[in-house]
Amino acid sequence: MIEGTAGSKNPGTLPLRAVTGPTEEKLARRRFQKGQLLLLQQRWSMRFYEDVFENGERRRHRVQKFLGTLKEFPTKRLAMREMKAALDAVNSLAYRPKINHNLP
User: Residue 38's closest CA among 82, 88, 89, 92?
Assistant: 82
Question: 46 pairs with which residues across the strands?
Answer: 37, 65
pLDDT of residue 29: 57
- The 3-state DSSP composition of the chain as helix, strand, coil percent (nearest 5) reads 15, 30, 55
20 falls in which pLDDT band (50, 70, 90)? Answer: low
Higher local confidence (pLDDT), 5 or 72: 72
- Please list, in sequence order, all residues whose beta carbon lies within 8 angstroms of the beta carbon of residue 37, skipping any fewer than 6 positions away: 44, 45, 46, 76, 79, 80, 83
For the chain, the first-to-last Cα distance in angstroms comes to: 70
pTM: 0.60
- Using alpha carbons, select from 45, 38, 51, 37 the residue that is nearest to residue 89: 51
> Is 68's pLDDT higher than 70?
yes
User: Which residue type occupies 4?
Assistant: G
Q: What is the distance between the alpha carbons of residues 95 and 83, in angstroms, rounded to a whole number?
A: 17
Q: Tell me, what's the pLDDT at 88?
A: 87
